[in-house]
Amino acid sequence: MNKKILILILLGAIVLPTITCAALDFTQPKGGFTNVQSVVTYLTEPVWVIFTGFAVVAFVFAGIMFLTAQGDPNKLTLAKNAFLWGIVGIVVAILGYSIMTIIKTALAE
């Protein structure tokens, strides 16, 4: 792989999560943790933002793999697998976030 492309990928993998984490507020809520719902919200929001940053990096990496394959069937297969597993990761993360939301809603009642 071209060294310039590798440097750009590594730079993106370092910078993008840093930018997404910079917008997060990791301080405890003003009223403290009064119930399970506030604890779950405190834990899931930063994880979701960090995951979003990694998902973007993964799809950019898969796109670069597609562009640099140049018709080579082995490289195209690797790129397709990277894209497929990126989608599987997003589906699993959405299911996990949904389960946490369902638990938070069920415990709030």
Domain residues of the chain, as ranges?
3-108
**pLDDT, position 44:** 78
> Tens-of-pLDDT digits for all 109 residues of the chain?
567 666 666 666 666 666 655 555 556 666 666 777 777 777 777 888 888 878 888 888 888 888 888 888 999 999 899 888 888 888 888 888 888 878 777 877 6
Residue 64 neighbours by CB under 8 Å, 6+ apart? 5, 9
Residues in the chain: 109
91, HSE (Cβ side, Cα atoms, 13 Å)? 6
Q: Output the pLDDT for position 98.
A: 84
Q: How far is CA 40 from CA 15, 61, 72, 103, in A?
A: 27, 31, 46, 9
CA distance readout (Å), 14 to 78, 91, 100, 103: 23, 24, 28, 33
So what's the pLDDT on residue 12?
Answer: 66
pTM, to two decimals: 0.61
pLDDT, residue 107, reads: 75
